A and B are shown apart, each in its own frame.
Chain A
Amino acid sequence: MTLIRKIIYWLSPRLLAIGFISGQAVFATSSTDIHDCNQATTPKISIHCGKTPSVIFDKNDRLWAVFEQNQFIYLTYSDDFGKSYSPPVTVNSVAEKIYADGENRPKIAVGHNAEIYISWSKKTEGKYTGDIRFSRSVDNGKHFSPVKTINNDKLLTGHRFDSLKVNRDGQIFISWLDKRDKIYAKKSGNNYKGAAIYYTTSKDSGLSFAPDKKIADRSCVCCRIAMTETNDGKMAVLWRHIFNDKKLGDNIRDHAIAFIDDKNSSQIQRATVDNWKINACPHHGPSLTLGPDNNFHMVWFTASTDKKGLYYGAYNAREKTISAQIPLSQQASASHPYILYANKHLVLAWKEFDGKKSHIHYKYQKFNEKNNSFPGNTWISSKSVATSKKESDHPTLVASQNRTWLSWHTRAEGLKLIPLI
């Protein structure tokens, strides 16, 4: 045996052993899910195997779901409340990089004449850059229009974290976080804090959109925007803002609310007062719903000196006042709350992690029609309604004609639709 062979002979088993150990470290996380997403030689396109789904029921209780998978947006539907789904239809005919994480996901809305509207944030060249993209279907989700870019500034900068809604008149509203003003400020030799909130509207079912309008400067740059319709057809927009407080200084990352229609945006108002001073990315946007009491019910995350965790509160737009801000959960693992009023119930859901499993908890209260109010801080139930040992998405709530459902996507189980109320 030559000397070199001797060396190889001596080294091989030892290197193999080391390779095995390091290999285990890398591959120990591969998932085994119930939908065979990892089995096929070609990727299986499915709501369960894709990422970051958003769902909505139409007036016939068909559940429409949009999701991202391998640089495509897909649409699918279910007529049996999530037990089975139709074959996915591709929305964008050309692959493109798409933001698909908990705070930044494709959105879906249904128009008055059963139009399907979809928006998402496309990754463009560079860091934190993107464009807001839109496509629609007018044949019940069979085909989609060519994708168009919604933001009209033609700048290579951040246009991300889109939010999409349709109002009672069928008008489409899209709002997003926009960094064009940072570029303008830089050209003028000025600094610019955070991003801005911009929006646009469409009165012709998505054929055309109005020029972009700014709602406010100084939004936080990495939290989702919450948007819900007001009782006069406007949109209420809630986002994490960067307040500059006279006493506390800059970087107060509480929430602001504004009301928009196709012409104007209202002055912004402070919607939460936690005084969370931080120069960081919370990656934790709020959620918003309008109650029959005409209050805007909100849930959010904060980690200020004296308030840490998830909170619930209500904003009265007429009086511009905020109700008592009530802690939902102060567990450090409690995250990403969602709120929805539907079918006479106000429902809250959020995620917690116990060290081994993620749990979805929820609370609800019933609207008292006689008193025209909710029963204050009296909530029913707060239990784990779903669990997962693997990675999971943020929980969302969605309402059918008679029920409120939890929609939760997990790596192990795919999309779960669970009836709550």
Chain B
Amino acid sequence: MIELKLSQLARTLKRGNALLLKLLLLISGCLLNTNVNSESTVFNKNSLQQIEQQYKNQPFLMIIWSTDCPPCLAELQLVGEIKKENPKLNLAIISTNGIEEKAELDKILNRSSLTSVPSWAFSSKNSQQLKHSIDPRWYGEMPRSYFYDNQHKRKGYSGQLTRTRVISWMKAVR
């Protein structure tokens, strides 16, 4: 029985390129956190471009937060609730904490019901270069959010998000 399954697998493997492509897509999906994966991955200077590519022609809400920002935690809680009610809401959540704090970050995201949301952590804590790569006009205050429409025109917002603000934007870009 097992030998039969293995031989079937072997035949599948012989399809070579197609499978390799699928495998690469699966693993790069994990790296980019596009699937059901609660783990924060590293945010580097190319990550914003990758996020924008990932949500090509789709609206999405990008949230920047850190663990030393109490309003950020309240905002994550709220966004987690809205995501539960609106599973199609596209989110990208970026922490300016370093990736070495990943365990703590993931714990907070899980607690905020943001378990299946793509999330990132800065490759280096509070990196000015990474902040600059997100928005050279951003002063660094948090929480910071960017509302992207279908064409990826985006609006930045500083301060804790309210339910009304998020829902209004969702209606506008629907």
Find A355's partner among B24, B132, B144 (CB 8 Å cutoff). Answer: B132
> Interface code A13-47, partner B: CB below 8 Å = 1, 0 otherwise?
01000100010011011000000000000000000
Rounded to whole angstroms, the CA-CA distance of A14 and B22 in the bound complex is 12
Chain A-chain B contacts (Cβ-Cβ < 8 Å), number = 107
B-binding segment of A81-89, A273-281, A400-408: A273-281
- Minimum CB distance partner of B162 in chain A: A279
Find B68's partner among A281, A308, A353, A392 (CB 8 Å cutoff). Answer: A281
Contacts of A7 in B (CB 8 A): 9-10, 13
* Cβ-based interface call for A170 (8 A): no
Whether B71 lies near A280 (C-beta < 8 A) is yes
Question: Nearest Cβ in chain A — how far from B138, in angstroms?
Answer: 6
- Minimum CB distance partner of B19 in chain A: A10
Whether B7 lies near A353 (C-beta < 8 A) is no
* Cβ-based interface call for B116 (8 A): no
Whether A128 lies near B70 (C-beta < 8 A) is yes
Question: Nearest Cβ in chain B — how far from A103, in angstroms?
Answer: 9
* Cβ-based interface call for B36 (8 A): no
Question: Nearest Cβ in chain A — how far from B167, in angstroms?
Answer: 18
Whether B10 lies near A6 (C-beta < 8 A) is yes
Using A281-B141, A283-B142 as known contacts, say yes or no to A391 and B70 having CB atoms under 8 A apart: no
Question: Nearest Cβ in chain A — how far from B34, in angstroms?
Answer: 14
- Minimum CB distance partner of A179 in chain B: B70
- Minimum CB distance partner of A19 in chain B: B27
Using A3-B10, A358-B128 as known contacts, say yes or no to A14 and B23 having CB atoms under 8 A apart: yes
A-binding segment of B51-59, B85-93, B119-127: B119-127
* Cβ-based interface call for B42 (8 A): yes
Q: In chain B between 111 and 161, which residues have their CB closer than 8 angstroms to a CB of chain A? A: 123-129, 132, 135-144, 158-160
Whether B141 lies near A278 (C-beta < 8 A) is yes
* Cβ-based interface call for A155 (8 A): no
Whether A355 lies near B136 (C-beta < 8 A) is yes
Whether A283 lies near B140 (C-beta < 8 A) is yes
Whether B72 lies near A281 (C-beta < 8 A) is yes
Question: Nearest Cβ in chain B — how far from A132, in angstroms?
Answer: 17
* Cβ-based interface call for A282 (8 A): yes
Rounded to whole angstroms, the CA-CA distance of A68 and B44 in the bound complex is 27
> Interface code B56-73, partner A: CB below 8 Å = 1, 0 otherwise?
000000000011111111
Whether A222 lies near B141 (C-beta < 8 A) is no
Using A280-B71, A333-B128 as known contacts, say yes or no to A28 and B123 having CB atoms under 8 A apart: yes
Whether B99 lies near A26 (C-beta < 8 A) is yes
Please indicate which of the listed interface residues B9, B20, B23, B70 has the most CB atoms of chain A within 10 Å of its own CB: B70
Whether B138 lies near A282 (C-beta < 8 A) is no
Using A29-B124, A353-B129, A391-B128 as known contacts, say yes or no to A280 and B141 having CB atoms under 8 A apart: yes
* Cβ-based interface call for A301 (8 A): yes
Whether B68 lies near A391 (C-beta < 8 A) is no
Rounded to whole angstroms, the CA-CA distance of A28 and B122 in the bound complex is 12
* Cβ-based interface call for A398 (8 A): no
Contacts of A25 in B (CB 8 A): 31, 42, 44, 123
* Cβ-based interface call for A303 (8 A): yes
Question: Nearest Cβ in chain B — how far from A332, in angstroms?
Answer: 5
Contacts of A308 in B (CB 8 A): 139
Whether B136 lies near A28 (C-beta < 8 A) is no
* Cβ-based interface call for A271 (8 A): no
Question: Nearest Cβ in chain A — how far from B38, in angstroms?
Answer: 18
> Interface code A280-302, partner B: CB below 8 Å = 1, 0 otherwise?
11111000000000000000010
- Minimum CB distance partner of B44 in chain A: A25
Rounded to whole angstroms, the CA-CA distance of A356 and B136 in the bound complex is 12
Using A22-B31, A26-B42, A280-B141 as known contacts, say yes or no to A332 and B136 having CB atoms under 8 A apart: yes
Whether B7 lies near A3 (C-beta < 8 A) is yes
Whether B139 lies near A301 (C-beta < 8 A) is yes
Contacts of B71 in A (CB 8 A): 279-281
* Cβ-based interface call for B172 (8 A): no
Rounded to whole angstroms, the CA-CA distance of A29 and B130 in the bound complex is 12
Please indicate which of the listed interface residues A128, A221, A281, A309 has the most CB atoms of chain B within 10 Å of its own CB: A281
Whether B128 lies near A283 (C-beta < 8 A) is no
Question: Nearest Cβ in chain B — how far from A24, in angstroms?
Answer: 10
Rounded to whole angstroms, the CA-CA distance of A136 and B44 in the bound complex is 42
* Cβ-based interface call for B6 (8 A): yes
Whether B159 lies near A278 (C-beta < 8 A) is yes
- Minimum CB distance partner of A277 in chain B: B159
Rounded to whole angstroms, the CA-CA distance of A3 and B9 in the bound complex is 9
Find A281's partner among B9, B23, B135, B142 (CB 8 Å cutoff). Answer: B142
Top 6 A-B pairs ranked by shortest CB distance? A281-B69, A280-B159, A279-B160, A353-B128, A278-B159, A332-B137
Q: What are 8 A-to-B residue pairs whose CB atoms are below 8 Å?
A: A6-B13, A14-B24, A29-B123, A101-B68, A279-B71, A301-B139, A353-B129, A355-B132
A interface vs B, CB < 8 Å? Answer: 3-4, 6-7, 10, 14, 18, 22, 25-26, 28-29, 101-102, 127-128, 221-222, 278-284, 301, 303, 308-309, 332-333, 335, 353, 355-356, 358, 391-392
